[in-house]
Amino acid sequence: MSIQTVNPVNNNVIKSFEEMTDSVVDKAVTQAASTFEIWKKTSYKHRSDLLHKLAKLMREKKETLATMITLEMGKLLVQAEGEILLSADILDYYADHGEKFLADKHLHPTHGEALIRYTPIGVLFGVEPWNFPYYQVARFAAPNIMIGNTIMVKHASIVPQCGIMIEELFKEAGFPKGLYTNLLMSGKRASALVSDKRIKGVSLTGSEVAGASLASEAGKYLKKSVLELGGSDAFIILEDADIDKAVDWAVVGRINNNGECCIASKRFIAVDAVADEFLKKFTDKMARLKIGDPMHKDTDVGPLSSEAAANQIAEQVDRAIKGGAKAILGGKRVEGEGSFMQVTVLIDMKPDNPVYYEELFGPVATFYRVKDEQAAIDLANDSPFGLGGSIFTKDIARGKRVADQMDTGMVFINHPTWTQADLPFGGTKGSGYGRELSELGIDEFVNKKLIRVSGLTDPF
């Protein structure tokens, strides 16, 4: 199988790579396991110093790294640069706080002394997606490197050069060989690798199908897994919301990363009292967005990540319309070269529509009108996904009450679902399990070892 960089602006093949052979992969796993035996004995300060150096390198090389993101998957260049800075912030965050997070937790048993000690578990295997090539890796790798684990990553096949660049950054920062390894291999072979006894834990960010496959293999071999899968985030607009502010954030929430974001706002739910005003202003603003080359500063929406991705969302929109929905904006592929999709707003989506429960990964919004707050909550929860959600209201206490009733891993009030180093990230239902980022993100792939001290005559 050939792994390729294809520029989605024109679908030209830029560079091709051959998959690693089984022998090369086996040697890489052997190296990672060997490096773990040394790395687990290093000090937190040493790990922290190297993570800080890695973060510094990323900031220094921001333009080069960001340009490759844009070339390979079509992210706006300014957003690609923002991704590099966010990734560096995550590295610094765990370098600064990892030792504190991993400090012994002293317990208070009835007799004697006890503590929980955090220890590494070994080689971890991550399968990462193309939509945030650096950020996804940073949030998986940084906490686990501080723990003392070693990292192997099978990156998405459409961003091979980003994957290679990440490994080169680790080497340049001074990390030992085998601490971080980039694997050029297919998804099918990735699932097979989970069975290797030297792999102790697996993490995947991607589709439900890929997640189910990897988790099945992990369960078969009794290995811990963390999954961050799809999302269909609801964006609720209550009658007391600041409509202009809600519209501004709605466009950002839907169009960020060309709409190819698991936490993008996808389902816009407005109560009757403000539905007409919100829909008109939202649609008007979406209609003014400029589609074009993501390298250009005046572009608002770039191409989809690949021709397959563009065809998929165009097919979903077509099925939605045939199923009774109406496109009041867009609805088709952009004519000409490249993997572009029109900015689209769909209304009249009903539960019997074949696309109603699907995730729309691209610049396509669905709008729903409901009678009141409870109807908005019910509709928001009527989804197989449970990643994030948003509530717009001037009454913060009310917003928190609504948030309590949303069946998601994250809820933001007066802001679309977002991410930063010190906030936990993850979902429920079909959106996966486990958490990344914040202190919770360092708790997944670690042995929480109980150490109990007591006198020989002390009763338990």
Furthest C-alpha separation in the chain = 82
Q: Pairing mode, if any, of strands 150-154 and 447-453?
A: unpaired
Does residue 59 contact residue 85 with C-beta atoms inside 8 Å?
yes
**d(C-alpha 59, C-alpha 79), whole Å:** 14
Does residue 233 contact residue 263 with C-beta atoms inside 8 Å?
yes
Residue 261 a catalytic site member = no
447: tokens are: 């042995």
Residues 307-314: contacts with CB within 8 Å, 24+ apart?
Answer: 307/6, 307/8, 307/11, 307/339, 309/260, 309/339, 309/361, 309/362, 310/8, 310/339, 310/340, 310/341, 310/362, 312/361, 313/341, 313/360, 313/361, 313/362, 313/364, 314/341
Q: Measure Cα distances from 125 to 39, 183, 257 in Å.
A: 16, 10, 26
Name beta bridge partners: 389.
Answer: 234
**d(C-alpha 128, C-alpha 421), whole Å:** 18
**d(C-alpha 41, C-alpha 197), whole Å:** 21
Exposed (0-12), middle (13-18) or buried (19+): which is 159, by Cβ within 10 Å? buried
Q: Which of 167, 217, 228, 260 is catalytic?
A: 228
Residue 228 a catalytic site member = yes
**d(C-alpha 146, C-alpha 97), whole Å:** 9
Amino acid residing at 302: G
Q: Which residue has 């971080």 as its token pair? A: 180
Q: Which of 81, 167, 262, 436 is catalytic?
A: 262
Amino acid residing at 264: A
Does residue 77 contact residue 124 with C-beta atoms inside 8 Å?
no
Residue positions annotated with a catalytic role = 228, 262
